[in-house]
Chain A
Amino acid sequence: MLQYLLEALGVLWANKTRSFLTTLGLIIGVMAVIAIQILGSGMAGAVTGVLGAINDKSFSIFPNARQADFTRAAISVAEIDRATRTVPNLVAGIPLGSTTLEVRLGTAHAKLRLAAESDRRFITSPIRYGIGFTREQIAAGAHVCILLDTAAAKLQVDGDPVGRSIRAGDRRYTIVGVLAKSTSGIVPNVIQSDVLIPYTSYERDYARGRPVLGARFLVGDAGRLIDTENATLAYFTALKHGRALYQTIDRKTFASAVDGIFAGLTLIVALIGAVSLVVAGIGILNIMLVSVAERTREIGLRKAIGATRFQVLAQFFIEALLLSSIGCAMGLVLGLAIGAGVNEIALVQISGVVAPIPWLRSVLIATSFATIVTLVFGTYPAYRAAQLDPIEALRYE
């Protein structure tokens, strides 16, 4: 057996170019599948990260996009306030949305997103300096602000900036707190912001009674989240005399939506991977068949000097096995490198979640592909080679 392996290695090595071209398809196919499934688990990690960032006591409400007159469902900050006071279990409400302004702090300046916050904190990143907003500041619509870690970085905050003022557009806000980077993953774009100001100030300075994108609410009892969402939906629908449609999103529904998207993506990507492997397999089949045709005289010779059918079969089969193992091993290494690399650069950086690389699964996938490709696409050419009549084969030009 070892002899055959060495002999096959010798043949493959003697025909390096042919061998390489044969495995190329397989290398690329396996590489793609491995890289993709590492990215898949990276994405799953990122989803977990997103979940971590969303307050599990909060939900958002939006006008449903599928209604004839979207404007009829518009929500104002005054209505959010009323809902917070009226619907049981709601403890705070803020408008969704942000306004982007040129913000200055000393000599530093940057374009930053200002968003609303309440004294009951929606953004739960740890506090680095200062404190959150007080009830009085919210009630008064005070000119105060909290910087998120992104704003602190862009404004080159060095040390404790509490007490200093930023200038946003033509307004000033005194810094009362700075938040550290969220420890748990990315924040969905719609609630992403750089600078938080009291929602009352946001209303007075920017929203000014105009409709906002939607609302976020905090509930007192997380166990009654669904009921509260339904009550809030009912409240807003009644407020618009039943002529407007709304939808809510909480941590769970958001997660299932994101999961659904990723599941779809993963399926598509897996299909592409499977197709590419079939193509790679057919490539191997083709090159092995061409190789049998090209090597007809060689096979004839081998048989003439005394090789049995089984020996020829074994030789070609082992060649196919070696080619596919080498191809799959190279694909595995490249796929792991690419998958881990992209994961590190794209996903870990964004989500802050390091998903474990599924080594075992990768190796299993590569091994099973090598086996399948060999069995399916290597056996037939080997069989063809073994069946050749030595007299015909030796005469073959």
Chain B
Amino acid sequence: MNEAPRPVIVLREVTKTYALGEISVQALRGVSFRIAAGEYVAIMGPSGSGKSTLMNTLGCLDRPSTGSYELDGVDVGTLGDNALAAIRLKKLGFVFQGFNLLARTSALKNVALPLFYAGMPSRARNAAAADRLREVGLADRLDHKPNELSGGQQQRVAIARALVNDPAVVLADEPTGNLDSQTSEEIMALFEQLNAAGRTIIMVTHDEEVAAHAKRVIRVRDGLIVADERTAAAPIG
């Protein structure tokens, strides 16, 4: 296979073991893969397969028990909490199933939030946030609060927020799980558009139809990768 020249994600024999009382549960039992810049990957698996743990590990919310994880050239397995937070801030963008927008806060402020933690001054924050909202087609909704927006619009705001710090990787966790099929299509189209523009996207889903939009599908079961394939439609690159 033709790997892209620059890998943004390199997982080597990653395991993750949780201690639940006296029993320890091995959620990941040796996962290795690399994802190149510009890829659009779907991670699939039934519940309990370890895909959430994998997602948390990729999102630097959790550290692997053994193995190594290199994100954009940084070995994150050895980093402390604050360094992990900095990695999440600079290199990752999250899109959640439940949108997770701040209530009673405008779309603009929601999108600008990561830049606040990056220490950017307020004026620059708002300008960058407005740009991203335009990019996701919400130029006329800057001052709307989440409860004044439809589900699809809320997810667009969340995507704009994920993009605002210009991350190396966008991580989407069941991004269409709370949306109807037509809105899902719109969101998927947006992801494709972002990928076409060069964004690296990793999406966790259990929906084959959604996964079909990705160019590569990694299937997880019982903490192991059982399949890693390019989808028919997708050109490699």
Stretch of B84-92, B133-141, B208-216 that contacts chain A: B84-92
What's the nearest-Cβ distance from chain B to residue A99, in Å?
A: 72
Q: Which of A6, A15, A304, A307 has the most CB of B within 10 A?
A: A304
Known A309-B81, A390-B61: A298·B102 in contact at CB below 8 Å: yes
Task: Give 5 nearest A-B pairs by CB, closest first.
Answer: A306-B89, A14-B104, A308-B85, A306-B88, A301-B100
Q: Establish whether residues A7 and B61, one from each chain, have CB atoms under 8 Å apart when the complex forms.
A: no
Q: What is the predominant secondary structure among interface residues of chain A facing chain B?
A: helix
Q: Establish whether residues B109 and A306, one from each chain, have CB atoms under 8 Å apart when the complex forms.
A: no
Q: Establish whether residues B56 and A306, one from each chain, have CB atoms under 8 Å apart when the complex forms.
A: no
Asked if A216 lies at the interface with its beta carbon under 8 angstroms from chain B, I say no
Interface size counted on chain B using CB atoms at 8 A: 32
Interface size counted on chain A using CB atoms at 8 A: 23
Q: Establish whether residues A3 and B119, one from each chain, have CB atoms under 8 Å apart when the complex forms.
A: yes
Which positions 268-320 of chain A face chain B at CB distance < 8 Å? 297-298, 300-311
Q: Inside 8 A of B119's CB, which chain A residues have their CB?
A: 3
CA distance A91 to B85 in the complex (A): 91
Known A3-B119, A298-B102: A308·B81 in contact at CB below 8 Å: yes
Cross-interface CB contact of A306 among B62, B98, B114, cutoff 8 Å: B114
Asked if B69 lies at the interface with its beta carbon under 8 angstroms from chain A, I say no
CA distance A74 to B81 in the complex (A): 87
CA distance A159 to B169 in the complex (A): 97
Q: Establish whether residues A297 and B100, one from each chain, have CB atoms under 8 Å apart when the complex forms.
A: yes
Q: Inside 8 A of A3's CB, which chain B residues have their CB?
A: 116, 119, 121-122
Which positions 156-183 of chain A face chain B at CB distance < 8 Å? none
Q: Establish whether residues B122 and A6, one from each chain, have CB atoms under 8 Å apart when the complex forms.
A: yes
Cross-interface CB contact of A394 among B82, B96, B104, B165, cutoff 8 Å: B96
Q: Establish whether residues A302 and B82, one from each chain, have CB atoms under 8 Å apart when the complex forms.
A: no
Q: Which of A6, A308, A309, A311 has the most CB of B within 10 A?
A: A308
What's the nearest-Cβ distance from chain A to residue B136, in Å?
A: 17
Q: Establish whether residues A304 and B88, one from each chain, have CB atoms under 8 Å apart when the complex forms.
A: yes
Sample (22) of A-B pairs whose CB atoms are under 8 Å apart:
A3-B119, A3-B121, A7-B116, A10-B109, A297-B100, A302-B113, A304-B59, A304-B88, A304-B94, A306-B85, A306-B92, A306-B165, A307-B117, A308-B81, A308-B82, A308-B85, A308-B117, A309-B85, A310-B82, A311-B117, A390-B61, A394-B100
